[in-house]
Structure 1
Amino acid sequence: MKKVLIPTKLESIAANTLKAAGYEIIQEADTPLEEQIKQHPDTTALIVRSEKVTPEIMDALLNLKVVIRAGAGYDNIDIVHARKKNIDVMNTPGANSNAVAEEVIAMILAYYRHIVDADNTTRQGLWEKKRYMGSELTKKTVGIVGLGNIGRLIVKRLQGFEPTLLGYDHFLARQRAINIGVTPTSLEEIFEQADIITLHVPGGPSTKGMVGADLLGRMKNGSVLINCSRYGVVDEEALAALKAEGRKIAYLTDVHPKDAAGDKPSAAVADLLLPHLGANTIEANAKAARRAAEQMIAYFDEGNTSCVVNGESPTGLNPAHLHLTMMLGTFARIAGEGKPIRRIDCTFYGDLRTYRKWFTPKILEGVLPHAEKGLMPEAAEESLREHGIVFKAREPMDDKPYEDSITLDLTTEVDGEPVTTSVRGVVTEGIPMISRINTFHGLYSDMRGNTLVLRYKDRPGVIALIGSTLASAGINIDNIVAPIDHACGEAMALIKTNKPVTDEQVAEISKGIDALSAFAVSL
């Protein structure tokens, strides 16, 4: 009988479901996990919420096969050490989405109608009805930044208030946004036009300080900003400075550097401050508990690993090819100027066709840098579908002599029309190389490091001008490849540099050579 340890206040449906399936369940919420593992060293599986699963805990449980986080985030589990110990880690994404969506609606209404302050003063025996003149949510313009599970549910929950809905999701196809009832707009337009802005983006370096002085400065007086995504997405110092100048911007948040007691940095600037209540509902807890139990049964009884987040690629697949795939996806996305992605078609040649499903997670990570990392193939495909992206792994044509190479065609949406960027790559002596970009063949350029990519009408003197401009900026050229497409009279230069080329420098070079396209990428 498999022993499952649940060291947290998880809804009883998890324990009951597993008991009915023949599992031995130990559920103790008040005893530290470190103490419990001493009492149950034969534990086979763990289900946790926010409890930290450290290398020491895993090392102490010699029979441990799987750890399931009943919730979406799993940064409380050392997934790298788990993989070293051959322990699978799973999560239950989406279980908390509705709870967070409803919290956002509750925060808006609580702020607009002064619910918290009015309750406090009325209990004190005061009658401050005139002081608490409120606003109505009905027919307001609401901007939703991030149209994932939570963002889409907010759209549904707001429908009864007859709002004007503006949406921004860098990676969601325009038509998909329209289909769910949102007018796709830029970030700048949302911050200029919306009465209410709610943020639902992932954390990390790519979104840190995303809402800074520029966007905040565009907000209307009397508008409301809600952050139930991650701490650090909003530059709270910039917001405080605007408020000090007399700008009337309300800030509602429930995210903090740590989910623990103590002083909160947001307290000085927030108009409504909550202790990360987003997922804290009976229903969300029950849903996460049920999914955790069902996933565990499927894992042990059926060998289902679709929800594993620290999966290991199969024996025989060179990790360098996985890295190459992510690089190709990143390169194609940047070459496509970050436009909404509609479709991805991939072809895997030679022996790689055997492993083609294992490339899907790396494709996802390359084309959608904000997407969840480390997913198993089935979950990665589902994530692509949720973003409105059609994904297809094509069969290679037998007459193509591309041994162990990968072709990735990324179709974006530009002014309502599809535009495809096609790239091909290989691994040579362990180095990921890009061998083709659209009609430019024979590149074989190392994808690692910093690369400046320029397309221009072929003519003498262009390379010299590029080199001179880079030299003036103190940038050295490590390598250069510049093939010509004689059919159209165009050339493409891939220039490896010793340091990143800034957007301003790219713009200067592009203008100087009258480039047809120009971008820099660091991989």
Structure 2
Amino acid sequence: MPKVLISDKMDPQAAKIFRERGVEVDEITGKTPDELKAMIGQYDGLAIRSSTKVTKEILEHATNLKVVGRAGIGVDNVDIPAASAKGVVVMNTPFGNSITTAEHAIALMFALARQLPEADASTQAGKWEKNRFMGVELTSKTLGLIGAGNIGSIVADRARGLKMKVVAFDPFLTPERAVEMGVEKVTLDELLARADFITLHTPLTDQTRNILSAENLAKTKKGVRIINCARGGLIDEAALKAGLDSGHIGGAALDVFVTEPAKESPLFGTPNFVSTPHLGASTTEAQVNVAIQVAEQMADFLVSGGVTNALNMPSLSAEEAPKLKPYMALAEKLGSLVGQLSTGAIDRISVHTEGAAAELNQKPITSAVLAGFLGTQTATVNMVNAPLLARDRGVEVREIRSEREGDYHTLVRVSVRTADGERSVAGTLFGDQAPRLVELFGIKVEADLVGSMLYVVNEDAPGFIGRLGTALGEAGVNIGTFHLGRRQAGGEAVLLLSVDEPVTAELLARVKALPGVRTAMGLSF
């Protein structure tokens, strides 16, 4: 009989479900890391919330551990690379507290609009300062939604019920999905200029970090009120403080901070600032939901091998895994490449397999493409939840098989459709194992997609490669590999260079200044 340890306080429904599914369970909470190390070796599964830290050291003592289940979304307290190296599946419950988090954002919006915390403190102090607290109505105001996924769509629905106008910025939001949600899809700059209230519902990634930077906060309407129940780090807290002090920002409410627990912050005590201690998921209903979900997922895995909402493992049978593993690695890289290079809303992704690839199970390959594509914007995406996330964003997914062989024995092609038309990338396996890019937006080019890379589109002209090499040398950038392709002599050429360090904004500016450069971007794999 599998054995699970519940190491954080969790709703009793979790233990009940484990026992009903034939899993032995111990509920032992509040243990120190050393105490957890001493006992973890006897368990097949570990069910946690946010208190238990599943570190590399803990995992080294987990000799029998097969799965870690996080009752909630965030897995910052789990060393996922160490778990993967150990062969431990890490699961979360990404949709169990969506309504609760959305409602908390709405509650904070009301608190800002009517200055409820300050009014409460004043009244309870016996001051009765009725004329001091002049609020604003939400009706007819414009709510700017940064992130229109599961939680963001719920906030939009509630805001529309309050007769607010909702504008949304989300690179993955299609026009059709925007119509379905009843929101207007806009650019980030348009949202900043028009919104009376801004609420964030996007994960923290390299692309979204400080999305409300000092520069972007300066673009907002005077008197704007800002709410963040998503992740600390989406807002430049120092710039937010300056905006509140100057009066440009009319109010801000944060449930999340860059550093948590936030025992100190320059924002504390600032007028028109409201804060809560990461309460987005803190309702009775949400805690019951995530407890039930994590127990069901872990029990299914331990008893029957089913995998749901895994962050480091696709849904695969034991027989399929060895054959599909290199194809999924190729598919994820192609998805990531097209995601990083594409601009504008994408409403359709097509995955076309040819030759040997067409004889395999298509679903894991497609899921790997979606995981790579969505992973450029979404922190917790994986091959299990990627199809659901794509569907939530209104992205149509097509699978096409062609058993005939073309130029290659096996080929995976990923095409995306945007307002600018359809673009595709293609790759193959060398030696049936090594992923290799062979076509980029119609240009033949062979390249390994690894580490940090520089992507350049330029006019094919003599001397360009020399000028580029000189510019990189002057910037102290070492080239690992160099891949070149072109449509025709004197036409458009593409360069893919692997470099030893991440591509910086300064390096991109230097490259873009070279004569003949049409596009330059940094890529990461």
Q: TM-score, normalised by structure 1?
A: 0.86
* Distance across 2 between alignment mates of 1:372 and 1:208: 11
Find out whether 1:282 has 2:289 as its counterpart: no
CA distance in 2, matches of 1:278, 1:158: 17
**Displacement of 1:327:** 3.2
Deviation at 1:89, TM superposition (A): 1.7
Contact 1:439/1:485 (8 A) holds in 2 = no
Check 1:126–1:246 CA distance in 2 against 1; reply closer, same or farther (3 A cut). closer
Q: Give the equivalent residue in structure 2 for 1:328.
A: 334
Name the counterpart of 2:349: 344
Change (3 A) 1:295 1:334: closer
1:110 equivalenced with 2:103 (yes/no): no
Partner of 1:367: 373
Alpha-carbon distance in structure 1 between the residues aligned to 2:128 and 2:240:
32
Structure-2 separation of matches of 1:378 and 1:239: 37
1:309 deviates by 1.6
What residue is the counterpart of 1:464 in the other structure?
Answer: 463
Question: Using a 3 Å threshold, how does the CA distance of structure 1 residues 346 and 202 change in structure 2: closer, same or farther?
Answer: same
User: Would the aligned equivalents of 1:144 and 1:165 in 2 still touch at CA under 8 Å?
Assistant: yes
Structure 2 CA distance for aligned equivalents of residues 492 and 41 of structure 1: 56
Distance 1:5 1:468 in 2: 60
Change (3 A) 1:24 1:204: same
Cα distance change on mapping 1:348 and 1:265 into 2, 3 Å: farther
Query: What is the DSSP-based 3-state SS (H/G/I as helix, E as strand, rest coil) of the residue aligned with 1:111?
Result: helix
Residue aligned with 2:253, SS: strand
Q: 1:404: how far off?
A: 3.1
Contact 2:456 2:495 in 1 (8 A): yes
Q: Deviations over 1:305-346 (max 9, x none)?
A: 13222217865348665444333223323443x211111112
Deviates more, 1:289-298 or 1:345-354: 345-354
1:157-207 deviation per Cα after TM superposition (whole angstroms, max 9, x unaligned): 112210110000012222212221110011111111110000111113322
Find the counterpart in structure 1 of residue 253 from structure 2.
252
Which amino acid counterpart does residue 9 of structure 1 have in structure 2? K
Q: What is the identity, as a one-letter code, of the residue corresponding to 2:363?
A: K
Superposed CA deviations along residues 18-38 of structure 1, whole A, max 9, x for unmatched, are 233343332244454753674
SS at match of 1:127: coil
Q: CA RMSD in A?
A: 3.1
Counterpart in the other structure of 2:386: 380
Secondary structure of 2:295's partner? helix
Q: Tell me if structure 2 keeps the 8 A contact 1:200–1:229.
A: yes
| 3-state DSSP of counterpart to 1:9 | coil
Q: CA deviation at 1:53?
A: 1.9
Aligned to 1:9: 9
Query: Paired residue for 2:305?
Result: 303
User: Cα 1:68–1:265, aligned 2, differ >3 Å: closer, same or farther?
Assistant: farther
Question: Structure 1 residue 287: deviation in Å?
Answer: 0.6
Aligned to 1:454: 457
Counterpart-to-counterpart distance in 2, 1:219 and 1:127:
33
1:468 to 1:497, Cα distance in 2 relative to 1, 3 A:
farther
Structure 1 partner of 2:89: 88
Question: Alpha-carbon deviation of 1:495?
Answer: 5.5
**Could you tell me how far 1:40 is from its partner in structure 2?**
7.3
Match of 2:409 among 392, 400, 403: 403
Report whether the alignment pairs 1:44 with 2:49.
Answer: no
Change over 3 Å in CA distance of 1:391–1:128 after alignment to 2: same
Question: Contact 1:506–1:520 (CA<8 Å) still a contact in 2?
Answer: no
* Counterpart position of 1:440: 443
State the shift of 1:520 in Å.
2.9
1:301 and 1:446 mapped to 2: Cα distance?
40
Task: For 1:400, give the aligned amino acid.
Answer: G
State the distance in 2 between where 1:440 and 1:85 align.
40
Q: In 2, are the aligned partners of 1:452 and 1:497 still within 8 Å (CA)?
A: no
Q: Tell me the amino acid that sits aligned with residue 92 of structure 1.
A: T
**Are residues 317 and 139 of structure 1, via their aligned partners in 2, closer, same or farther at CA, if it must alter by over 3 Å?**
same
* Structure 1 residue 255: Cα displacement: 0.8
Distance 1:99 1:215 in 2: 28
The equivalent residue for 2:18 is 18
Per mean C-alpha deviation after superposition, the further-off stretch among 463-472 and 218-227 is: 463-472
Letter in 2 for 1:24: E
Mapped pair 1:197 → 2:198: yes
Q: Structure 2 vs 1, CA of residues 31 and 445 (structure 1 numbering), >3 Å: closer, same or farther?
A: closer
Q: Equivalences for 1:68-83 in 2 at 5 Å?
A: 68-83=69-84
Contact 1:79 1:89 in 2 (8 A): yes
Q: Secondary structure at the match of 2:278?
A: coil
The 5 A counterparts of 1:134-153 are 134-153=135-154
Letter in 1 for 2:185: P
Which of 396, 421, 431 is the equivalent residue of 1:390?
Answer: 396
Report deviation, 1:261: 6.2
Asked if 2 retains the 8 angstrom alpha-carbon contact of 1:440 and 1:485, the reply is no
Cα 1:47–1:403 change in 2 (3 A) is: same
Contact 1:220 1:249 in 2 (8 A): no
Gapped runs of 5+ residues in structure 2?
none
Q: Distance in 2 between matches of 1:4 and 1:207?
A: 36
- Alpha-carbon distance between aligned partners in 1 of 2:448 and 2:22, rounded to the nearest angstrom: 54
* In structure 1, distance between residues paired with 2:513 and 2:179: 36
In 2: Cα distance, 1:57 partner to 1:24 partner? 21
CA distance in 1, matches of 2:71, 2:496: 47
TM-score (structure 2 length as normaliser): 0.86
Structure 1: stretches of 5+ with no match in the other structure: none
Conserved 8 A contact 2:205-2:378: no
Q: Which amino acid aligns with 1:412?
A: T
Structure 1 residues 231 and 495, CA, compared in 2 at 3 Å: closer, same or farther? closer
Q: Which residue of 2 aligns with 1:175?
A: 176
* 3-state secondary structure, aligned to 2:83: helix
Query: Can you list the C-alpha shifts for 1:448-483, whole angstroms capped at 9, x where unaligned?
Result: 453443265x7xxx2435644764674798746343
Going from structure 1 to structure 2, the CA distance change for 1:25 and 1:482 (only over 3 Å counts) comes to: closer
Q: Which amino acid aligns with 1:249?
A: G
Distance in structure 2 (CA, Å) of the matches to 1:491 and 1:111 = 53
| Other-structure match for 1:62 | 63
TM-superposed CA distance for 1:85, in Å, is: 3.0
The one of 410, 421, 425 equivalent to 2:427 is 425
State the AA in 1 paired with 2:377: H
Aligned AA (1:217): A
Deviates more, 1:237-246 or 1:8-17: 237-246
Q: Is the 8 A contact 1:365 1:373 kept in 2?
A: no
1:290–1:34: structure 2 CA closer, same or farther, 3 Å change rule?
Answer: farther
Q: Once structures 1 and 2 are overlaid, which stretch shifts more, 379-388 or 254-263?
A: 254-263
SS at match of 1:255: coil
SS at match of 1:15: helix
* 1:492 counterpart residue number: 493
